[in-house]
Structure 1
């Protein structure tokens, strides 16, 4: 499939991955998750092996199997993105090639560990992406980390990356609205066809109000319809409908992303899916841990209030 930025418009679900009580991947549960969150009525594209899918806790063989099973279930005509979480360049190329071989259309390149500690604002990330793009010759997306993490790229770096022909999208997770808007404007000025996929989870409403090409979120694993309602209202330019959709979404957002530490957000999504009867077990793999009864009860109340239970 010759995927471009225009093909990524709309809702992209970052899928969570359930495990059984022994810690093995629950493939039947994963199929049920896809049935729940990857229907064309609510979801346009599917993103696997990212943070939501606990990619760093998976073996290379498991990541390839996730891609293959996802492709088999969603069919050949849906866009499938796969995360690439490298330490350095050799891993980036190896993981990208493996993702393509397994059936992914787009490799989503996380910032390499070697580029941390300040290099994210220099020319090094651009050279890294240029080399990867030239050797892979496949569609790529840049995964923008929160600025405060030290791995978030500067606005000029993102704008340069966007001009690499193979780069078709930026998953924008800078975690501040100012950075999101500055990056969006700079990228669109430099490369208008590159898709901006906002994923700053505290500000779904504000991001689509500012502008973007869709929403990329793990929350679509749990509540795809709520995000779809917000996106459709933004596409229609209907501020009242956007506010109404955001009011339904807000309690779920707070229950999932509010408690500390925020890294447990995807485990809370799996707690919600368990409460909804989609999966049987919500426990993550180490280094993540199960959530407290108090946090799970907060998720239950939010889902009930949103009419999802």
Structure 2
């Protein structure tokens, strides 16, 4: 024996690959169904190739959960996911003071790292210094690694301009970004800027509809809610891309694309969480697909489209 000690992989190293953004099952009266949540977290996290979970993200209805509920989500993920599963929790609050309190509580509950979402109010307008201050408050309330979130270009001023993104990336506590621009040109622009500024910064291509494109342009992996419905397919796509087998990657993308469009693209917008839950119910993995108000239940047309897309993906 040489006696040499191996250095454990860093948070950034562990982010590479596929991470599933999970949902939060509810009872018919909109209470968190903890037993079903535990089963969902364990099932998704145990799929070979799933490196970690993003909990309390948009798919996890983080904007309608209380802090106590968000903390419980982290605790259940820590308890029921494999020990080597990376747990990242979203932080989403309109108030910077409350976001800081939330971040500290979720870190204490066992999150390995935190993803800072921009407050929804920023979609209208904001001063760049507001964004810097919000992230500073979260940073100063915590000790662990932090992630940025690049909002969809369709979300107005929530999407950070290159000059602002440069300022955010300069903070060394932030080590990665969930790149959710949901538009290929913006994704590549941000990727190239970040890699010029900090070559070690982890960029996760996270537009569920254009995963193939982001992998071709360049990506360190993804945190996507599509991976909580069809984790095996998303892992297969990533593995094919990593191997440079673009013919296979394109074939897998062709299976995934109708499902991604039915969940995320089809009008009306903002229906992804309800549709994700409907998919899981169609697949027999969820008994109740209730989403908290103001989200209404899926319509018969949505359900038909999702069922057809799941079949095209080889599911069900």
CA distance in 2, matches of 1:40, 1:128: 35
Give the structure 1 partner of residue 26 of structure 2: 19
2-side partners of 1:259 and 1:166: how far apart? Answer: 37
Q: State yes or no: 1:146 paired with 2:152.
A: yes
Say which SS state the counterpart of residue 279 (structure 1) adopts.
coil
- Equivalent of 1:41, from 42, 48, 62? 48
- Bigger mean CA offset, 151-160 vs 106-115: 106-115
Q: 1:116 to 1:269 in 2, by over 3 A?
A: closer
Deviation at 1:26, TM superposition (A): 1.5
Distance across 2 between alignment mates of 1:248 and 1:147: 26
1:88 corresponds to which of 88, 95, 116 = 95
The answer to whether the 8 A contact 1:3-1:105 is kept is no
Cα gap change, 1:302 to 1:210, in 2 (>3 Å): same
What CA deviation, in whole Å up to 9, does each residue of 1:209-241 have, x standing for no partner? 111110111111101111111111110111111
1:94 and 1:206 map into 2 onto residues whose CA distance is 37
* TM-superposed deviation, 1:2: 8.0
CA–CA distance in 1 between the matches of 2:166 and 2:144?
19
1:237 alignment counterpart: 244
Give yes or no for contact 1:13–1:221 (8 Å, CA) kept in 2: yes
Q: Secondary structure at the match of 1:22?
A: coil
CA contact (8 A) 1:37 1:223 kept: no
Note the C-alpha offset of 1:88: 2.5
Aligned equivalents of 2:136, 2:200: Cα separation in 1:
18
Return closer, same or farther for 1:220/1:114 CA change in 2, 3 Å cut-off: same
* 1:103 counterpart residue number: 110
Q: Return the alpha-carbon distance in structure 2 between the equivalents of residues 138 and 154 of structure 1.
A: 26
Looking at structure 1, the residues matched to 225 and 38 of structure 2 have their Cα atoms a distance apart, in angstroms, of 16
Q: Aligned partners of 1:166 and 1:96: how far apart in 2? A: 14
Q: Aligned to 2:124, which of 105, 117, 125?
A: 117
- How much has 1:114 moved relative to structure 2? 5.9
Q: Tell me, in whole angstroms, the C-alpha distance in 2 between the residues paired with 1:220 and 1:148.
A: 23
Quote how far apart the aligned CAs of 1:101 are: 0.9
Which residue in 1 is equivalent to 2:208? Answer: 201
**Residue 5 of structure 2 aligns with which residue?**
none
- What are structure 2's unaligned runs of at least 5 residues? 1-7
Tell me how far 1:21 sits from its aligned partner: 1.3
Match of 2:184 in 1: 177
Distance change (3 Å), C-alpha of 1:273 and 1:192? same
Q: How does 1:234-273 map to 2 (within 5 A)?
A: 234-273=241-280
SS of equivalent to 1:56: coil
Are 1:115 and 1:124, in contact at CA under 8 Å, matched by a contact in 2? no
Change (3 A) 1:295 1:4: same
Aligned residue number for residue 137 of structure 1: 143
Using the size of structure 2 for normalisation, the TM-score is 0.92
Give the structure-1-normalised TM-score: 0.94
> What is the CA distance between 1:40 and its match in structure 2?
4.8
RMSD across aligned positions (CA): 1.8
- Which 10-residue stretch deviates more, 101-110 or 124-133? 124-133
The whole-number CA distance in structure 2 between the counterparts of 1:306 and 1:56 is: 30
Moved more, 28-37 or 201-210: 28-37
- Partner in structure 2 of residue 228 of structure 1: 235
SS of residue in 1 equivalent to 2:63: helix
Render the CA deviation track for 1:132-184: whole Å, top value 9, x for unaligned.
Answer: 32442321111111123121111222233222111011111112111100000
What is the CA-CA distance between 1:127 and the residue it aligns to? 4.2
Q: 2:14 aligns with which of 4, 7, 12?
A: 7
Distance 1:25 1:188, change over 3 A: same
